[in-house]
Amino acid sequence: MDDPAVYYSNTGGEKQDATAVSVRSTTELFASDSQKKMNTRVVYGSLAALVIALIAVLIALIVVATSKNSNETSSSGSSAQGSCEDSNSYPWVVPDCSYAKTNLEKAHCVLDSYPLVDGHNDLPYRYRMFANNSVYNVDLTSDLRLTWDPNVSHTDIPKMRKGKLGAQFWADYVPCASNYKDAVRLSLEQLDVIKKYVARYPETFEFVTTAQGILDAFKDGKIGSLIGLEGGHSIDSSLGTLRMFYTLGVRYMTVTHSCNVPWADNWLADTPDYNETLEGPKHDGLTAFGEKVILEMNRLGMLVDLSHVAKATMEDALRISKAPVIYSHSSAFEYCNHYRNVQDSVLRLTKENGGVVMVNFYDKYINCEPNLKDTPTLSQVADHIEYIKNLIGVDYVGIGADYDGVPSVPVGLEDTSTYPALFAELIKRGWNEENLQKLAGRNLIRVFKQAEKVSDEMGHLPPYEDIQPQKVSNPDDLPCRTDF
């Protein structure tokens, strides 16, 4: 074999063993590479740790900023509109209308800032009276005074837009003559009319069933459209029927119309000349079944409407109801002594309940003794509003004009275009923007949200399944009944 190669070192010139030198050189090389890799890992590790730390700091800053903004929004919401609306994402604030040069301009400013919610409009019944419920043969964008009776036609889309209407409870009304007969079918037909015209004009109307839905529709520039069932006779004393109307979208029921139901008295029972032989016996308010109707409405989240009912019925409902009530179209009895209006003692109970009285524009409920004038005017409607405000507070009054449901209205409030004029009158009397917003819609929406909250709290309860016995003074009043 050959001898191993001989190498010389750089420093001494001594001859060294080539194998040893080669091993040492290779070891040193590997050691150097290992050290480099270790250094690289340290550098990358440090960079990674720095990035993680920076991300953690950034997240912490975002959390702090979000919490601060949330607290500020909640605080401003509470001061401006009450705790019921703190969760709304849209900035519902009290507007600064100082730029307005006239009271009417200021009224427009307010009504542009928050939805005006009217508690009662009978347009659906006008479709039945004048168009046989045919929605598609009527142009709601035209002046309906030229098509229908001008004395009772107060509503069309141009007028509603001019009047700054933000949301409307449309009345599902059928006459008391249908009581014990075909009230349920007729009420379903009127509900169908409402849904048809809301669907026909989607650029104007949006069907809503919640308080938040009203606000969302207004934000989108549409008139939130809700349904109120005007009269307990429409459920034919059936809690199952009541539940089905709720499922179809009804969000308030007027406990009676101007006729008794087997479980509640209407306002005529308070009049001195009430005839029990003709009108039926009094119940002295709500019967035991009537109380269950109120509780089932609470459980569902349906607003209890006490317009049209007797004083004793109001008092019983206020005692039973777990949620705030509404009077969708009633005014102040002490100012105008009509029994369709709300008496002072009941107004005080309504404040305790947290409800809202939505003032009616019908001149017979506005202009009577002890404040009877030759000509009913807008100013008298403002008087009713101020009377309620002064007696129980600004948080318990709203608007429920009753347009298209009455034959005459005060001068200055001829139709749905005139709401701003009423607000301008109140501005002249010293009302500020926040109180005007409460009148317009904040009060009603507060009540609506509270009713929804009560419904949530009662959600664990089963439906009430009580049955109202069929008892009427005259058996001939039940020709369509079966014993199924």
- Active-site annotation holder among 154, 233, 283, 308: 308
Give me the phi and psi of 413, to 5 degrees please.
-130, 50
- Active-site annotation holder among 172, 230, 315, 383: 230
- Active-site annotation holder among 85, 363, 402, 433: 402
Q: At what angle do helices 311-320 and 344-353 cross, to 10 degrees?
A: 20
Q: Name the strand (E) or helix (H) holding 224.
A: strand 223-230
In the residue annotation, 414 being an active-site residue is answered as: no
Smallest CA-to-CA distance from 377 within 406, 414, 405 is with: 414
Distance CA 323, CA 305 (A): 11
Q: Tokens representing 5?
A: 């190669």
- Active-site annotation holder among 154, 257, 338, 384: 257
Distance CA 88, CA 449 (A): 12
Q: Tokens representing 197?
A: 């015209």
Give me the phi and psi of 223, to 5 degrees please.
-90, 110
In the residue annotation, 206 being an active-site residue is answered as: no
Query: What number of H helices and E strands is found in the chain?
Result: 16, 11
Concatenating the DSSP letter of every residue in 305-356 gives E-TTB-HHHHHHHHHH-SS--EETT--BTTTB--TTSBPHHHHHHHHHHT-E
Q: What is the DSSP letter of 481?
A: -
In the residue annotation, 329 being an active-site residue is answered as: yes
Burial of 38 (0-12, 13-18, 19+ CB in 10 A): exposed
Q: Name the strand (E) or helix (H) holding 227.
A: strand 223-230
**Mode of pairing for the β-strands spanning 6-8 and 15-17:** antiparallel
Whether the CB-CB separation of 209 and 226 falls below 8 Å is answered with yes
Whether the CB-CB separation of 363 and 404 falls below 8 Å is answered with no
In the residue annotation, 257 being an active-site residue is answered as: yes
Residues near 7 by beta carbon (within 8 Å), at least 6 away in sequence: 15, 16, 18, 21
In the residue annotation, 402 being an active-site residue is answered as: yes
Q: Which amino acid is at 247?
A: T
Produce one character per residue of 162-179: b if its CB has 16 or more CB atoms within 10 Å, e if not. ebbbbbbbbbbbbebebb
- Active-site annotation holder among 120, 154, 233, 384: 120
Give me the phi and psi of 71, to 5 degrees please.
-65, -40
Whether the CB-CB separation of 265 and 313 falls below 8 Å is answered with yes
- Active-site annotation holder among 154, 233, 283, 329: 329
In the residue annotation, 154 being an active-site residue is answered as: no
In the residue annotation, 220 being an active-site residue is answered as: no
Residues assigned a catalytic role: 120, 122, 230, 257, 308, 329, 402
